[in-house]
Amino acid sequence: MNIREIVAGTPPHHWILLALFLITFLYQTGMYFLVYNKVPQYHRKIGRAFKGKISIIICAKNEAENLRCLLPKVLQQDYPEFEVVVVNDSSTDDTEQVLMEMASQYGHLRYTSIPEDEKLKRGKKLALTIGLKAARFDHILLTDADCYPVSDQWIRKMASHFSARHRIVLGYGGYEKRKGLLNILIRYETTFTAMQYLSFAILGKPYMGVGRNLAYQKALFFENKGFAAHYHLASGDDDLFVNANATWENCVVEFSPISHTRSVPETSFRSWIRQKKRHLSAGSHYRKGSRIRLASEWISRIILYPVLIWICVSSPWKIPVASLFIVLLIIRLSIFKKTMRRLKEKYLLLPSLLLDPVFPVILGILWISGRFDKKYQPWK
């Protein structure tokens, strides 16, 4: 059977499937070449490094053990002048005692505590706002109580970008490698998300950052009324703030290896699902352009794989379509591997073969189910 006969005998629905595949193939190829490839290719333009005073803010709720083990790595940074402000949000464990002991040992550690109030529904945003008001310096670096910098140069690298023009610095916060499927899932999602938001920021379209490693000017926060626009939401203290205030001009990225932070990962699927639902709930409040870009990428992957399978099973175009998909697979694996290398992530390349088609489905299910969750979700 020649090409003319195949074309003449192809039912209309097969043409529709072929068109869908080609559209999603071209979209995904373009995303990897034109967007995601920015992280492997990125080279910082060297300028005069900022060396001013820095306030590090950490919000903690029942984090006594993490603070005892991890806070010294923040307090022992190699930087001329900085303070660490910890906000204890109504902890019921030994957080207060741990902070009291450490404050007597480290003169640049300050802390404040929020009393328990069962009538008041509040999240991390209140604790963070209190920390920002308490900070003595105008340049702020954020991380979490279950995070730690991988080197003593963390402050120096993140703060070095501040200038009259650059008021927001997006960093990379990864997770510790542990055994198990959940850990692979967490680290893959973190790496892929970082590849997205760092690449778009490099392109001048910043849309989010992560509170595990994020810096901005205190004045910028209060000039734009802080979290007022989304204070009622349980999430968004990092990504919604960046989405609303970051521009191509005032935002810059820093993801050199010594600027990374690592976090203690969730150990139960239930906790991870609750965390992901909380984070996904913020996405619908992004700016319109950000929502369109992220939704388009998500939908393209949702469509690509079922259409590919359908064509390979029942369509006469299976060989050329399979060949194109192999090309896309090589491009994707190559760029994702380079991104992993830049972000110092390991052992995710092979799992990504399965997670790339599966993860959009997982996020879709969590997003839909989260729309029916009426109960207030605390940040810890």
Q: Are residues 75 and 12 in the same domain?
A: no
Q: Are residues 31 and 56 in the same domain?
A: no
What is the overall mean pLDDT for the chain?
92
Q: Tell me if the pTM is above 0.75.
A: yes
Q: Are residues 210 and 63 in the same domain?
A: yes
List of long-range contacts for 267-271, beta carbons under 8 Å, 24+ apart: 267/178, 267/182, 268/182, 269/182
Q: Which helix (H) or strand (E) holds 274?
A: helix 269-283
For 287: left if phi > 0, alpha if psi spans -120 to 50, otherwise beta; the answer is beta
The string of pLDDT tens digits covering residues 8-63 is 455 667 778 899 999 999 999 999 999 999 999 999 877 778 989 999 999 999 99
Q: Are residues 248 and 132 in the same domain?
A: yes
Domain that holds residue 338: 3-40+290-368
pLDDT, residue 295, reads: 94
Query: Is 278 inside any structural domain?
Result: no
Residue with tokens 């192999």: 326
pLDDT bucket at 235, cuts 50 / 70 / 90 = confident
Residue with tokens 């189910």: 369
pLDDT, residue 319, reads: 92
Query: Is 373 inside any structural domain?
Result: no
Q: Domain ends where: 272, 298, 332?
A: 272
Q: Are residues 82 and 215 in the same domain?
A: yes
The string of pLDDT tens digits covering residues 97-138 is 999 999 999 999 999 999 887 666 668 999 999 999 999 999
Q: Which helix (H) or strand (E) holds 251?
A: strand 251-253
Six token digits for residue 160: 């070095």
pLDDT, residue 376, reads: 52
Q: Give ∠ CA 253-353-320 in degrees, rounded to 5.
A: 110
**Number of domains, the chain:** 2
Query: Is 266 inside any structural domain?
Result: yes
Rounded to 5 degrees, φ, ψ at 263 are -120, 155
Residue with tokens 């019921």: 92
pLDDT, residue 120, reads: 64
Q: Where are the alpha helices (DSSP H) in 160-214?
A: 181-202
Measure the CA–CA gap between 324 and 78, rounded to whole angstroms: 50
Query: Is 378 inside any structural domain?
Result: no
CA-closest candidate to residue 275, choices 344, 160, 189:
189
Q: Give ∠ CA 208-141-173 in degrees, rounded to 5.
A: 55
Measure the CA–CA gap between 198 and 171, rounded to whole angstroms: 8
Measure the CA–CA gap between 26 and 334, rounded to whole angstroms: 17
pLDDT, residue 345, reads: 98
Q: Are residues 222 and 312 in the same domain?
A: no
Q: Which helix (H) or strand (E) holds 42?
A: none
Q: Are residues 228 and 80 in the same domain?
A: yes
